[in-house]
Amino acid sequence: MDVGYVRKYEALHRGFKNRNPRSLVVGIDLDVEAVLQARDDHSVVGNALQLPFRDSEFDAVVAGELLEHVWDGFTLLRELVRVSRPGGTVYVTTPNPFSLNNWLRHWLLAPRIYTRASFRGFLGDPDHKMFWNPPSLFNAISALGLDIVEFTTIGVRIPLIARAVKRLGALDIPCYPFSRLGSYTCVVGWKR
């Protein structure tokens, strides 16, 4: 199941379907108009905080870039775990507040971190409500009965280098400690 898939991540949803042609890939999104425009037989309109599915219904549940859009992220995580089967996998991606670029620009070097411009800059997208730092996300996922099997970040951006050499854009450096400083947190959990 792909939660919150329409519009920005519709191509990713199609990718899931193409890579798993014998599987039923269900999409759910709150945006009625967008779901209707997607014209997908296995997509439904629904609220991720109250998923309209039975307990343990899915082998894999994906919530890409959704957690930061709700105030009650724990309820969202609980719903993802509820609908996943024992032995199933839950994939969560969300912006990383420890992103090197974001942390330097909007936290460490910001003159007044409590001004609206500063904290809105840190949060980025106007629809972002709050970020989950990786240890808090690990703690919530673990408390809900998942074992964390993988963690990484993507989009490591080194501020001055990326600006000086435009071709670098977002430079991914897949080794420690840079693997913890990317723009997006990616956590994979396995349901006990």
CATH number of 47-191: 3.40.50.150
What is the structure's pLDDT at 90? Answer: 96
pLDDT tens-place string over residues 81-122: 999 999 999 999 999 998 888 888 888 888 888 888 888 888
135 near 143, Cβ under 8 Å? no
C-alpha 25/C-alpha 12 separation (Å) is 12
| 27-29 vs 2-3, strand pairing mode | parallel
**Extents of the domains making up the chain:** 47-191
Q: What is the pTM of this model?
A: 0.86
Strands in the chain per DSSP E: 2-3, 27-29, 43-45, 58-64, 84-95, 146-154, 184-191
C-alpha 34/C-alpha 119 separation (Å) is 30
Q: Which amino acid is at 61?
A: V
156 near 186, Cβ under 8 Å? no
C-alpha 190/C-alpha 185 separation (Å) is 17
C-alpha 1/C-alpha 80 separation (Å) is 9
Mean pLDDT of the chain: 86
